[in-house]
Amino acid sequence: MANIMVRKSADGGLSFYLPKRDIEDSIISIEFDTPEKWGGEIRLGNGGIYYIDPIPAPARLPISVRARRVDGVE
């Protein structure tokens, strides 16, 4: 598992950043996006898929969370 940062991008969407590998990309979709449950499978613009254990929606962004890579795309 890796520590990642999720933040709002300039266009109002979500942005993914993996500091250890200096990977930054836009989040295309997030499995759960409600106040009670946020996270799950996230898909990136480059085709990568990561999994964040669902948590209550963060009060503000950016947020650092642990994520597991589901596929081999980077």
Of 51, 58, 14, 15, nearest to 36 by C-alpha is 58
Helix then strand then coil, in percent of the chain rounded to 5, is 0, 60, 40
The whole-number pLDDT of residue 6 equals 97
Please state, for a pLDDT cut of 70, what percent of the chain lies above it. 96
* Tens of pLDDT, residues 18-31: 999 999 999 999 99
Pick the CATH number of 2-69 from 2.40.50.240, 3.40.50.800, 3.30.70.2860, 3.40.50.1360: 2.40.50.240
Q: Look up the pTM and report it.
A: 0.89
